């Protein structure tokens, strides 16, 4: 067996920032080392804190390293690979603490034991959500299953099915008030982003510090940069201290660079973060794609209510479609590109959304953390929405307003299955409308809300000739309104007569609870009773058989046997009475 401690178990394919420690699987060969800080682990190993390497682990650790390297070679996102590395470190840390073996023969049992520990945290300690536990297990399972030789179509599922962990992710159904509150908070956040972008002009960024931005809500956003003791008045000091205070707050001279001034880094970062979130909300592009876009030339083409930006290649007019957005965003986009040029950010970086790093230089694949937005919204007490939340809000807004799944999926650049699985938030109002439409198409018997049937479904209700002024208005919603509509038709059956008689009895109970006002107005239920009795008398006059139907219906009601459509309502009124 080769000496694994001398084998390179790092990942040169990953880029690292100036203050980051590279991932090294040598750490996993030493029991307990996975629990140490990664920037200290190798030093502690050299000092002999964790003893000798575990030879029995060597083969499995090498296989795990090989699978992670294969992921990188296949072009997997560095963010996804790092999430797997973090999960593996947590798994090995638990295995060391619980004295579980980390070998090719025992890794399955150790993995199952770890998932039991995750379930304990979920259900007993309640310090881990079920979805996080499942995602951690899936990430580890994918690497572990491949490292021990499983080459099926879905290795992670094969291993996770051996455990009691299940993907029980459920989507919350929004009600009326929750949906309105969510939309209002989203619009407030969008207004805040727009105010930041319009307020942090080149003149403001280069001007005196601190910066106070007025917002359309009436609030003001204070951006201090690196200033401290903002309440200190320079006029209360003299000499060198006063001069330092004045210099720290003074605007930039004409030839000075904004990018090189550390005091204004937060101003630049806040504007770029706001622009990035607005761009994601407009284009529905995910964060990793949007953050990696380069500053290039674009041409625009109208497509209905939207416009599509095409990347322009040198030497030819044709180009690749980069993103789609609403028409109104084009002017905002142009203003932002001009701002990049005027501040000098375009020269400092070729990225479309460049971030200035003054102390720590992040790796190339690092994504924005939106710390400036977090701080500002916290200062104002506003709800904050991340890139994924904004994309979901856009998708659901389009879905509800267009009513077309295919159109929304096309605009969001997703398949229908992905949109339904990961983005759609079920809404009870929309569900009720869809259920009603389904029943209208599939079951014509429920087209009429009242007894009988309608001969003009979907048309405007018309009052029956000679209807009393105080009779219920015809509509396609209530049974009473249906009875007074000219489109309503009777059904010659015993069941229909029983239903009418039960309905009339319900109205008798309702009218009995009515206390008339001083004007002596007639309760609309009286007109309903008259209308039903008129219908029953006309049916009874038709033939001897029909008269028998009506007689049986009225006898059943008098005996307390009511039609199923009205039995529950009648029982409630009898309790109230």
Strand ordering across the sheet containing 306-312: 298-303, 306-312, 319-326
Mean pLDDT in residue range 221-241: 67
In 21-160 the beta strands, taken as DSSP E runs, fall at: none
Q: Alpha carbon of 188 to those of 97, 167, 191, 306: distances in Å?
A: 48, 34, 5, 23
Rank 241-245, 280-284, 383-387, 443-447 by mean pLDDT and report only the highest: 383-387
Measured between alpha carbons, how far is 515 from 492 in angstroms, rounded to an integer?
Answer: 36
b/e string for 392-404 if b means 16 or more Cβ within 10 A? bbbbbebbeeeee
Is the four-CA dihedral 32, 33, 34, 36 of positive or negative sign? positive
pLDDT digits (tens, 9 = 90+) for 235-294: 565 666 667 766 777 888 888 888 888 888 889 999 999 999 999 988 888 888 888 888
- Identify the helix (H) or strand (E) that includes residue 302: strand 298-303
Q: Is the pLDDT of residue 1 over 70?
A: no
Q: What angle do CA 12, 16, 20 make, to 5 degrees?
A: 125
Measured between alpha carbons, how far is 232 from 241 in angstroms, rounded to an integer?
Answer: 11
pTM given for the model: 0.63
Structure-block tokens of residue 543: 């033939």
Measured between alpha carbons, how far is 84 from 68 in angstroms, rounded to an integer?
Answer: 8
Mean pLDDT in residue range 535-544: 92
Measured between alpha carbons, how far is 309 from 302 in angstroms, rounded to an integer?
Answer: 9
Between residues 439 and 76, which one has the greater pLDDT? 76
Of 171, 27, 130, the residue nearest 88 (C-alpha): 27
Tell me the residue length of the chain.
577
Residues 6 or more apart whose CB falls under 8 angstroms from that of 552 comprise 494, 497, 498
pLDDT digits (tens, 9 = 90+) for 55-75: 999 999 999 999 999 988 988
Q: What is the mean pLDDT of the chain?
A: 82
27-41, 163-177, 311-325: least confidently modelled range: 311-325
139-143, 283-287, 375-379: least confidently modelled range: 283-287
Structure-block tokens of residue 574: 């009898």
pLDDT digits (tens, 9 = 90+) for 485-506: 888 888 889 999 999 999 999 9
Mean pLDDT in residue range 150-178: 75
Mean pLDDT in residue range 543-570: 91
The residues spanned by each domain of the chain are 4-160, 177-388, 448-576
Measured between alpha carbons, how far is 498 from 557 in angstroms, rounded to an integer?
Answer: 8
Mean pLDDT in residue range 121-126: 93
pLDDT band for position 89 (cuts 50, 70, 90)? very high
């Amino acid at each position: 067996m080769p000496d694994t401690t001398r084998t390179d178990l790092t990942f040169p394919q990953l880029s690292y920032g100036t203050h980051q420690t590279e991932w090294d699987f040598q750490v996993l060969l030493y029991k307990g080392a996975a629990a140490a800080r990664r920037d200290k682990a190798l030093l502690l190993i050299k000092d002999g804190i964790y003893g000798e390497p575990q030879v029995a682990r060597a083969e499995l650790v090498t296989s795990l390293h090989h699978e992670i390297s294969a992921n990188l070679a296949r072009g997997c996102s560095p963010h996804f690979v790092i999430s797997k590395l973090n999960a593996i470190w947590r798994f090995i840390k638990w295995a060391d603490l619980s004295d579980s073996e980390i070998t090719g023969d025992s890794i399955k049992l150790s993995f199952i034991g770890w998932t039991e520990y995750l379930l304990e945290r979920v259900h007993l300690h309640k310090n881990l959500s079920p979805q996080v536990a499942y995602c951690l297990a899936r990430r580890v399972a994918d690497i572990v299953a491949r490292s021990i030789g499983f080459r099926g179509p879905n290795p992670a599922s094969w291993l996770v099915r051996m455990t009691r962990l299940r993907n029980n992710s459920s989507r919350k159904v929004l009600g009326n008030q929750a949906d309105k509150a969510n939309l209002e908070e989203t619009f407030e956040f969008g207004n805040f982003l727009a105010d930041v972008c319009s307020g942090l002009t080149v003149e403001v960024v280069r001007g005196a510090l601190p910066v106070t931005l007025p917002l359309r809500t009436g609030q003001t956003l204070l951006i201090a940069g690196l200033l401290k003791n903002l309440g200190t008045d320079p006029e209360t000091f003299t000499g060198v201290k006063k001069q330092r205070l004045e210099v720290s707050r003074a605007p930039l001279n004409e030839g000075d660079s904004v990018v090189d001034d550390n005091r204004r880094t937060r101003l630049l970062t806040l504007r770029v973060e706001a622009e990035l979130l607005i761009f994601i909300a407009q284009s529905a592009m995910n964060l990793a794609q949007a953050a990696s876009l380069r500053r290039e030339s674009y041409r625009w083409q109208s497509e209905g209510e939207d416009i599509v930006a095409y990347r322009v290649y040198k030497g030819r007019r044709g180009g690749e479609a980069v993103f789609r957005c609403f028409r109104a965003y084009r002017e905002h986009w142009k203003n932002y590109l001009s701002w990049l040029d005027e501040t000098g950010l375009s020269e400092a970086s070729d990225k479309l959304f460049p971030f200035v790093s003054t102390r720590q230089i992040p790796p190339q694949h690092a994504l924005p953390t939106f710390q400036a937005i977090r701080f500002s919204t916290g200062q104002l007490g506003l709800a904050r929405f991340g890139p994924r939340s904004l994309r979901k809000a856009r998708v659901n807004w389009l879905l509800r307003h267009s009513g077309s799944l295919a159109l929304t999926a096309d605009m969001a650049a997703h398949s229908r299955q992905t949109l339904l699985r990961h983005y759609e938030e079920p809404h009870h109002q929309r569900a009720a409308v869809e259920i009603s439409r389904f029943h209208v198409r599939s079951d014509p018997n429920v087209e009429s809300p009242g007894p009988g049937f309608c001969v003009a479904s979907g048309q405007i209700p018309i009052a029956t000739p000679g209807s009393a002024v105080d009779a219920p208005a015809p509509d396609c919603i209530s049974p009473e309104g249906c009875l007074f509509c000219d489109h309503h038709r009777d059904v010659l059956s015993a069941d229909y007569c029983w239903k009418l008689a039960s309905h009339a009895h319900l109205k008798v109970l309702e009218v009995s609870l009515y206390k008339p006002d001083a004007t002596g107005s007639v309760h609309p239920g009286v007109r309903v009773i008259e209308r039903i009795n008129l219908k029953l008398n006309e049916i009874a006059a038709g033939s001897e058989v029909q008269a028998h139907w009506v007689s049986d219906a009225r006898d059943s009601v008098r005996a307390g046997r009511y039609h199923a459509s009205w039995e529950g309502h009648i029982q409630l009124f009898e309790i109230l009475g």
